[in-house]
Chains A and B, each alone.
Chain A
């Protein structure tokens, strides 16, 4: 976890000779480090396997690998889209496609989230590319929040998971869209440009389209991928350590139950295409509490927080995440009270 804190600031002024992950004075080149790491890991295979054979460690590792393996294809999809936006779509396109007034651009961008079929890992790099391409941050953030929750795949999964409560689909769609718009407008009102500090990127000026495209893919995968690993480790730890019986205790009080499921959504970091099935199995909770789980999860969880910090900077993520959480919980309760 310490690596996340150090990461965004140190990229900028490091001289080339400084070795990437060792102390000063060591003339290590990165490929050498990779090779040495590989050899050490292969050499220590036996002891490592023995240490990892405890059931807790095994289930930790399985969940960790599962989160990464599941998220990587969607991350790659998002990264390809973001590189395509950066290289092949002229900035003027977004100026024409989105309404001029930011107050209208926000809901338009939030609705545009319908077209990105994927889970939340894909939307982070795409939203980053939109900001760099000159889209108003308020609109890009609305897209970032809505895309993973309201695309057709996720809504279909929700309908399948709640066969007896078709209103859940409507409630999820409505609440997610509301939160995305509210956050976009909030950012437009209160957001400050200097909070958004995306880490330095390699300049693509003077490059051919191919070089710029693959340069962007490489940068985004390395960057967001690293943060994805941090998030996956956190999610695996909580899944392996926190006993499920705590949840049972939390389901008794209606207020506590909403908060408990909202926090659970943050901690579990489940893909938005699968969270409806988990929500439907939490039968001891009210529908409103489960709606909160479905609205909060795709907008803010440990994995997403790490990736947002990597894409937009830590100052942004630290402010954006808690507000998103609060707005999402409140909206879920309101929508739940009206619809469910």
Chain B
């Protein structure tokens, strides 16, 4: 790959990072906190592309002697071409955030919360799936009481077609994403497609099952109302 091509690839990769960082696209792949780093990296890559063209034009790098005379021209190895793959994947395909397929292949992973502070007022009270599951599993629902909660997540179905309201929990990027699942019982909509985002209002129940993948406990919620909603901007939740 010669220097012009490298400049083009650097520019495009940098541009793709900026594109992902300035839209919500990056939230499908990494945690929100990485955004400043992502944008900075994009600017640096574009600067490197500009600098490459600039010094090339000024003839500042004397080793590019266009093939005749002494020595060899330094080119980057072919493996550098692979950098165009994530570029295409990010800009042209923009794969979706991890959904029910990954969630059902991976065992429920729930950090034990540090404590269970009293919940604020609200009826129904919006709660993250992680918070609800943490209180249900490790606090046995004591701090949940008989209140109504509003949970948002996507639908995942297990082998028997039982529905779970699921969020993937991200620590850094989608490679380390792990699901938190809450079983649905009560007034469940008759037809549930996997990966549909649901807004569920319901109450705590002592019912729980074991995740067949890793034996972790999955809590349940008794649904009193469920409606289909749009996927949120950040499809992942962060650990408590």
Residue from the list B48, B176, B216 in contact with A214, Cβ < 8 A: B48
User: Is residue A23 within 8 Å, beta carbon to beta carbon, of the partner chain?
Assistant: no
CB–CB A56/B101 < 8 A? yes
* Of B36-44, B119-127, B184-192, the one touching chain A: B36-44
Most buried by B among A226, A248, A269: A226
Residue from the list A20, A45, A243 in contact with B5, Cβ < 8 A: A20
Chain B interface (Cβ within 8 Å of chain A)?
Answer: 1-10, 12-13, 17, 20, 26, 28-30, 34, 37-38, 40-41, 44-45, 47-48, 51-52, 55, 60-63, 65-67, 72-86, 88-90, 92-93, 95-102, 105-107, 109-112, 114, 171-176, 178, 212-216, 239
CB–CB B26/A69 < 8 A? yes
User: Is residue A193 within 8 Å, beta carbon to beta carbon, of the partner chain?
Assistant: no
CB–CB B8/A31 < 8 A? yes
Per-residue B-contact encoding for A39-67, CB less than 8 Å = 1, 0 else = 00110010011001001101101111111
Query: Whole-angstrom distance between the alpha carbons of A7 and B62 in the complex?
Result: 24
Given contacts A41-B92, A66-B29, A223-B77, contact A210 B51 (CB under 8 A): yes
Residue from the list B80, B86, B212 in contact with A222, Cβ < 8 A: B80
CB–CB B79/A41 < 8 A? no
CB–CB B34/A73 < 8 A? yes
CB–CB B72/A13 < 8 A? yes
Q: Could you list 8 A-B pairs, sorted by A, with CB under 8 Å?
A: A41-B92, A59-B99, A73-B34, A74-B37, A202-B61, A214-B52, A233-B85, A236-B175
Chain A interface (Cβ within 8 Å of chain B)?
Answer: 3-4, 6-8, 10-17, 20-21, 29-31, 33-34, 37, 41-42, 45, 48-49, 52, 55-56, 58-59, 61-70, 72-77, 80, 157, 161, 163-164, 199-203, 206-208, 210-211, 214-215, 217-219, 221-223, 225-227, 229-230, 232-233, 235-236, 239, 243-245, 247-248, 268-271, 273-275, 277-278, 280-281, 283-284, 310
Query: Smallest Cβ distance from A224 to chain B, in angstroms?
Result: 10
Query: Whole-angstrom distance between the alpha carbons of A78 and B17 in the complex?
Result: 17
How many interface contacts (CB-CB < 8 Å) are there between A and B?
274
